[in-house]
């Protein structure tokens, strides 16, 4: 199979089918799933078959295409598209890309004739969003690269140690990644980089997905238990932190995978720069305060069980705590802007402030 660089694409031969990498099974199994309906797309988003803010947005867009392909009786009415749009938006609450992409496609379709024009318009719009997210991430890499290069120069070529949390790589973002884009750009340029990969409990997006991606790209990395970062920073073993985000307020507060806030606090205490990499599709232009960001809570079984490969090579899910101990699964937390050194976007690096964001995005909306 040709090496994959994207986690979602329209089926090359079958109209009305979208293909995705099943991220629940990585790194031990690489399986491609076919999505045939808007319900399939919603389930893929909810179950984290596809995940990561930009990919969730792209999946929402392809979900709207599938909705158009499967309209009851072939009548692609506004009512049907709106119903599909609302169902897609309800799949997960935190990443703003989901609603942004679904609403964008709804606006595209609303005034078109109720015929097959709508299918081709949804296909074109979903393909455009997908390509645009990839392009935004490429620019994030270009703008983040000088930050890494400067540290490499200060260290006289010794490896730059970058800590990241969760997976904000190409699996989460269509291509390049957000947090990983500057890392890949530095690696391509021949700068020595080493990534501390937080395992990212409960679902281990770091140890399963980021480690897999970095390994495939030949980037030096080490997986660490989630609580290790503070110690490494005290020991001078982290030069910078780069993470992604699921929603950023227009004032620079950042929601990202649970545990990000603790890394930001430790970074602040140790004078380690803490950068957040994001495409403008992840900015919520309506929200001022991070505490207004809806935080997803998920099935506590995600905390109680872990999945992995046993010695016989079988993928298994095992229970860790006592059978009857209750658990809670908060999927995200909010890092206040005051803890963020800078935002790395497709338009450049800016302070995590209302003014900094407005200077890069004067129109106050995401690029399409």
Ligand X SMILES: CSC[C@@H](O)[C@@H](O)C(=O)COP(=O)(O)O
Helix axes of 53-69 and 78-89: crossing angle, nearest 10 degrees: 150
Nearer to ligand X, 119 or 179 (CB): 179
| The binder of ligand X chosen from 70, 207, 210, 245 (CB under 6 A) | 245
- Selected range binding ligand X among 9-17, 48-56, 143-151, 153-161, rule: CB under 6 A: 48-56
Taking the complex as a whole, the smallest distance from the CB of residue 13 to ligand X amounts, in Å, to 29
Residue of this chain nearest to ligand X (CB atom): 244
Nearer to ligand X, 54 or 63 (CB): 54
Taking the complex as a whole, the smallest distance from the CB of residue 178 to ligand X amounts, in Å, to 4
Q: Does 96 bind ligand X (CB under 6 A)?
A: no
Nearer to ligand X, 17 or 139 (CB): 139
| Catalytic residue of the set 198, 246, 284, 333 | 246
Residues 6+ apart with CB under 8 A from 239: 151, 155, 160, 161, 162, 272, 273
Q: Does 205 bind ligand X (CB under 6 A)?
A: yes
- Selected range binding ligand X among 45-53, 77-85, 287-295, 341-349, rule: CB under 6 A: 45-53
Nearer to ligand X, 194 or 257 (CB): 257
Q: Does 178 bind ligand X (CB under 6 A)?
A: yes
Total chain residues near ligand X (CB under 6 A): 18
Within residues 305-334, the interface with ligand X by CB under 6 A covers 331
Q: Which residues are annotated as a binding site?
A: 51-53, 92, 205, 256-257
Which DSSP string do the residues of 126-173 spell out, in sequence order? Answer: HHHHHHHHHHHHHHHHHHHHHHHHHHHHHTTTPPEEEEE-S--SHHHH
Nearer to ligand X, 172 or 211 (CB): 172
Gap between the Cα atoms of 129 and 217, Å rounded? 25
Tell me whether residue 40 is one of the annotated catalytic residues. Answer: no
Q: Tell me the CA distances in angstroms from 141 to 84, 150, 180, 220, 274, one per residue in order.
A: 34, 14, 8, 18, 16
Which residue in the block uniquely carries the two structure tokens 């403008």? 280
Nearer to ligand X, 152 or 349 (CB): 349
Which DSSP string do the residues of 267-299 spell out, in sequence order? Answer: HHHHT--EEEE--GGGEETT---GGGSPPPEE-
| The binder of ligand X chosen from 118, 136, 257, 263 (CB under 6 A) | 257
Using the 8-state DSSP alphabet, how is residue 337 labeled? G
- Selected range binding ligand X among 52-60, 285-293, 336-344, 354-362, rule: CB under 6 A: 52-60
Gap between the Cα atoms of 99 and 276, Å rounded? 21
Q: Which residues are annotated as a binding site for substrate?
A: 51-53, 92, 205, 256-257
Gap between the Cα atoms of 250 and 264, Å rounded? 19
Q: Does 53 bind ligand X (CB under 6 A)?
A: yes
Gap between the Cα atoms of 26 and 292, Å rounded? 33
| The binder of ligand X chosen from 166, 240, 264, 349 (CB under 6 A) | 166
Q: Does 54 bind ligand X (CB under 6 A)?
A: yes
Q: Does 246 bind ligand X (CB under 6 A)?
A: yes
Q: Tell me the CA distances in angstroms from 8 to 69, 99, 180, 363, one per residue in order.
A: 17, 18, 18, 29
68-105 core/surface letters (b: 16 or more CB in 10 A; e: else): bbbbeeeebeeebbeebbebbbebbbbbbbbbbbbebb
Q: Compute the radius of gyration of the chain from its Cα atoms.
A: 20
Confirm if 238 and 163 have CB atoms less than 8 A apart. yes
| The binder of ligand X chosen from 7, 229, 244, 290 (CB under 6 A) | 244
Within residues 330-349, the interface with ligand X by CB under 6 A covers 331
Binding positions for ligand X, rule: CB under 6 A? 48, 51-54, 95, 166, 168, 172-173, 178, 205, 244-246, 256-257, 331
The catalytic site residues sit at 246
């Amino acid at each position: 199979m040709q090496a994959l660089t994207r986690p979602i694409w329209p089926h090359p031969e079958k109209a009305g089918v979208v293909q995705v990498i099943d991220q629940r099974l990585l790194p031990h199994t690489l399986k491609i799933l076919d999505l045939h309906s808007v319900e399939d797309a919603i389930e893929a988003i909810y179950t984290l078959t596809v995940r990561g803010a930009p990919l969730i947005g792209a999946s929402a867009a392809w979900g709207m295409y599938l909705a158009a392909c499967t309209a009851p009786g072939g009548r692609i009415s506004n009512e049907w598209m709106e119903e599909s749009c609302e169902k897609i938006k309800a799949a997960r609450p935190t990443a703003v890309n989901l609603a942004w992409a679904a609403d964008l496609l709804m606006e595209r379709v609303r005034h078109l004739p109720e015929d097959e024009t709508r299918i081709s318009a949804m296909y074109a719009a979903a393909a455009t969003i997908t390509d645009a997210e990839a392009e935004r991430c490429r620019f994030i890499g270009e703008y983040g690269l000088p930050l890494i290069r400067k540290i490499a120069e200060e260290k006289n070529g010794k490896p730059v140690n970058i800590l990241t949390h969760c997976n904000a790589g190409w699996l989460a973002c269509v291509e390049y990644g957000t947090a990983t884009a500057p890392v890949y750009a530095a690696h391509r340029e021949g700068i020595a980089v080493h990534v501390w990969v937080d395992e990212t409990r409960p679902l281990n997006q770091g140890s399963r997905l980021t480690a897999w991606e970095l390994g495939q790209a030949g980037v030096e990395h080490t997986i660490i238990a989630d609580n290790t970062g503070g110690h490494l920073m005290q020991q001078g073993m982290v030069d910078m932190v780069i993470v992604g985000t699921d929603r950023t307020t227009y004032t620079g507060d950042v929601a990202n995978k649970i545990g990000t806030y603790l890394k930001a606090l430790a970074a602040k205490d140790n004078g380690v720069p803490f950068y957040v990499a994001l495409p403008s599709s992840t900015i919520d232009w309506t929200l001022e305060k991070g505490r207004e960001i809806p935080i997803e809570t998920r099935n506590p079984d995600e905390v109680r069980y872990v999945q992995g490969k046993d010695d016989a090579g079988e993928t298994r899910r095992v229970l860790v705590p006592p059978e009857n101990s209750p658990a809670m699964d908060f999927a995200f937390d909010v890092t206040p802007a005051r803890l963020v050194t800078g935002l790395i976007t497709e338009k450049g690096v800016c302070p995590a402030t209302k003014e900094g964001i407005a200077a890069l995005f004067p129109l106050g909306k995401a690029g399409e």
